[in-house]
A and B are shown apart, each in its own frame.
Chain A
């Protein structure tokens, strides 16, 4: 995904707002009626970092994503994207966000090209420029030949990769991916994760990667652990492991979330 000349430098760290945190949450809480989904969440992600949001199902990851992407209003606390308050200046903040939702959001009855062109228009990108970016990005993931096929004909992994291309079309500075590899085979998972890590390295784009799969965490990542709506850990992998009194991130996650370590094959 990273060999595309058309995108070279567009996520350059020298962007004017790159000195600000890519994402800054301060005391964010959210409740569905009486059920507290998020409780006083505070953390920041620096520009150009790959941050992993770890949590079991029901931890509050999707609620947090819905708040960051302004699908829900932040009733308690503040969320800033590169210094822009998501509730006070949603347009400025959303322009810098690329989002891959947990649920598949391509229109299956439209072609890949039509889906991507629609997204480009939702960001005010004119047809000629949009077509160039679509061509470049699809080429970078070796899927140029699938452009005119219906989204319905793609595999789960291919749909995900097209959704990532879609999220990158408007050249965001912060990419949010909510359980992007759920339901995919090992090869597709590895490919997508490698693509995203390459984006961070080569383009300096910031990433918030929500998952419950420990083996997607790497040594250099910032790890944010949510459990039952509460932030239970935040920092570099080594700090999270040390503070949890564990030896691996797998063990640390198990301790922090109160589960027995069942997962094997953790790389960290």
Chain B
């Protein structure tokens, strides 16, 4: 910014691509540092799906048999079936954790430092979203690593091929979290998110049981599962493990990602946003 020869200031008229990358890198590093500083967050993010895998899945293995359904070409253990759902669970909780941290940042004032950056608001929010997704994907692979020792193994290439599916699903769920963060007035309201968003999304999906079983048990629940974007995220991940693309899931996940991101950008836009209404009565 300062010209060394003349020691005169140079006022940049516009940011170039390098400046955007510097900004993105800074947001990624900060999110990573915060994550490293919260070891209990890392541990709890792993304990939750591992409990499901080690206890729930082992216990229900005999009760919940899974027939041969795509993408599986043979009978699979229940642990294998629910692993993509547990990956989705990590992304879902991580997305909501980001939502929680944004509400916390807003209450503590840290959010302001981000929002007064001269970069476009949409870019800042997408960068923050990318940082959150990067952290959650690391959690997923840590879980898959442990699951591998438990005997839950996907084709080796599947671990690589599922990365884009994890990324897209993480973006969708992270964007949902970001949108929700704009609607949550106080940190205390986060419990409501658990009850009204996370649990219904998780249980009313194909994460724990195949949809044909749901349909047999309750046609209404089956329809709800079909309306749940989390179902499509799980199926996208499930097929990706076997090197396949489930096109409907891909389309739905992409569509909801765009919808949620757009909603979050609008909500955080000072001229149209909902966040501004949260300030009512809180400023002087």
Contact = CB atoms under 8 A, between A and B. Distances in A.
Interface of A: 8-12, 14-17, 32-33, 35, 37, 57-63, 66, 69-73, 75, 87, 90-97, 99, 101, 103-107, 109-110, 114, 117-127, 129, 166, 170-171
A121 B281 contact: no
Among A9, A17, A118, A127, the most chain B Cβ lie within 10 Å of the Cβ of: A118
A14 B119 CA distance: 26
Contacts of A166: 113
A125 B16 CA distance: 11
Given A12-B8, A15-B9, A73 B271 contact: yes
A91 B120 contact: yes
B15 interface: yes
A119 B112 contact: no
Given A70-B116, A72-B276, A94-B116, A16 B11 contact: yes
Given A123-B118, A129-B1, A73 B270 contact: yes
B186 to A, nearest CB: 15
Nearest to B21: A124
Given A17-B11, A114-B33, A121-B23, A66 B110 contact: no
B284 A61 contact: yes
Complex A-B, nearest 7 residue pairs according to Cβ-Cβ distance, in ascending order = A121-B26, A124-B19, A73-B271, A103-B109, A122-B117, A94-B118, A73-B270
Interface in B109-136: 109-110, 112-120, 124
A70 B120 CA distance: 12
A122 B119 contact: yes
A32 B279 contact: yes
Interface in B1-56: 1-2, 7-9, 11-13, 15, 18-20, 22-23, 25-27, 29-30, 33-34, 37-38
A121 B25 contact: yes
B280 interface: yes
B236 to A, nearest CB: 32
Given A33-B280, A94-B118, A101-B112, 9 more contacts: A10-B9, A12-B9, A60-B284, A71-B276, A92-B13, A104-B108, A107-B30, A114-B30, A121-B23
A122 B279 contact: no
Contact of B284 (A58, A90, A101): A58
27 contacts: A16-B11, A17-B11, A32-B281, A35-B281, A59-B284, A69-B116, A70-B115, A70-B116, A71-B116, A71-B270, A73-B270, A90-B118, A95-B11, A95-B12, A103-B112, A104-B108, A105-B108, A106-B110, A109-B34, A110-B37, A114-B33, A118-B30, A122-B114, A124-B15, A124-B118, A129-B1, A171-B2
B73 interface: no
B118 A171 contact: no
Contact of A104 (B2, B33, B109, B269): B109
B62 interface: no
Contacts of A63: 283-284
B1 A72 contact: no
Contacts of A32: 279-281, 283
B118 A95 contact: yes
Nearest to B16: A124
